[in-house]
Amino acid sequence: MTTDSTCAMARRQIQELHNRPDDDAVLRLVLEGMIEAEPEYFPDHASYEAMVHLEACTLCQVWHTTWLDMQSPARVAQRERLGRYCCIHMFDAVTGLEPEVRFSFELFRGDPCWSINAQPVFARFCPWCARELPQHAFEQDNPL
């Protein structure tokens, strides 16, 4: 993949930001794309300009995602695991340590059943995203 000098400089700057020893939570959120880049979040103007470029450049966005995935294989595994669920809220309801509402899959008298808070209610749709629930657990190896 060819890139111009602006992309190359922005990518080097972004890598340097990721490798900074300080643990600036706001900067981490900007780098993950969770909040919009603002000049006050960056240690210098060049870093801010690199992030603005990343937000606007499709090629650099693809590069950034790939680069982050290479830095953390657990990130890839987590994204794949989340992809098995209809939405993030259902993921939390099934796998969370203390969810407000617990969803679980079981066989009730031989029939597939989604239970809510351990009550076999035969839920058919996700209450958060309205998608139809599968007739099996989202993850076959899920210990819950």
For every residue of 88-117, DSSP letters joined together read: HHHHHHHH-SS-SS-EEEEEETTEEEEEET
Q: How far is CA 78 from the centre of its chain?
A: 7
Q: Give residue 99's pLDDT.
A: 94
Q: Which residues of the chain have pLDDT under 70?
A: 1-3, 141-144
Domains in the chain: boundaries: 5-71, 83-144
What is the H or E stretch that residue 119 is in? strand 119-120
Look at residue 1 in the predicted model and tell me its pLDDT. Answer: 47
Task: In whole angstroms, give the CA distance from residue 104 to residue 120.
Answer: 9
